[in-house]
Amino acid sequence: MALWRQQVCAMMRVRFLKLKHEGKFLRSILLLFGIFVLPMLMISILFKLWDIYSSWEITASSYFLPTVEKIQTKSTNLLIFNDTGSEIEDFITALKTQNIMPEMTLEENITSIPLHNGAIKISLENGSYQFTVMCSAEPINCFPMLMNILSNTFLRLLNSTARIRIWSEPFYNIQTPEVKTNIFSFCLGYMLLLAAGLPPHFAVSSMEDYKLQARAQLRLAGLFPSAYWCGQALVDVPLFWTL
């Protein structure tokens, strides 16, 4: 066993040195590896870019004036109509903590007031507060934005520091389970092709030893056949699985 282990280690060293000095073998392996991996890398980059640019966060600053300065020329004040008959200072304060400047109005017909992207009407019926959100015809995603503002306002009124965020995905979502399953199947088949293409490259070296009768000479010198194959496998198998 000591001799066998010594022969295995010797074959490992010979195999490693042979791979190190055989530039043609390494170039062919790297070329095959690059041919198969480059498309996979491009698909991964495409998915990442699509995920970044296909959706964007909807923020209140795009629709309504912040407390300090105007972010966009098309943003307006958030119109608030108090129909409760009492003060709603807590509600207004909760709005201001979201960097929103509300504008109070006494006009009952809010829809007749121009130049506002959206409005919230607060009324009191049977001891319960009723909230009505209204949007202008031009702003996109105004209704979900107003619902998000109301939700975060309720969180502030409950002394919560949490914040609800919303995103818009106007394009086709490629992150659905069906698409992911199809892409995974494609990638798996693609990698199986790569795995099937690598072993012949490793077998070329053994065929050259056979043609040169190097293996026969080693056997005449006392090399165990199992030591020959195990020594090469201990180099080729880790390299194969690393690739």
pLDDT score of 187? 77
Q: What is the pLDDT of residue 67?
A: 53
Residue-range definition of the domain harbouring residue 31: 1-54+174-242
In this structure, are 130 and 194 located in the same domain? no
Q: Please say which residue of 126, 151, 168 terminates a domain.
A: 168
Residues 86 and 161 in one domain: yes
* Residue 86 DSSP one-character state: S
Lowest-pLDDT choice from 17-21, 138-142, 175-179, 219-223: 175-179
The reply to whether 81 and 143 lie within a common domain is yes
Helix ranges, the chain (H): 2-21, 23-53, 89-96, 142-157, 177-197, 199-211, 214-220, 225-242
Same domain for 191 and 140, yes or no, is: no
d(CA 101, CA 78): 7
Q: Are residues 50 and 62 in the same domain?
A: no
Q: Note whether 128 and 207 are same-domain residues.
A: no
Looking at the 3D structure of the chain, how many domains does it have? 2
Of the two residues 202 and 119, the one the predictor is more confident about is: 119
pLDDT digits over 143-175, tens only?
A: 898 999 999 999 999 998 898 998 887 665 555
Percent of the chain scoring above 70 in pLDDT: 84
> Over 60: is that where the pLDDT of 127 sits?
yes
- Where is pLDDT greater, at 91 or 140? 91
**pLDDT, tens only, 101-122:** 788 877 666 666 567 788 888 8
Cα(125)–Cα(131) distance, integer angstroms = 11
pLDDT number for residue 155: 93
Structural domain ending residue among the three candidates 168, 199, 224: 168
Q: Quick one: 113 and 192 in the same domain?
A: no
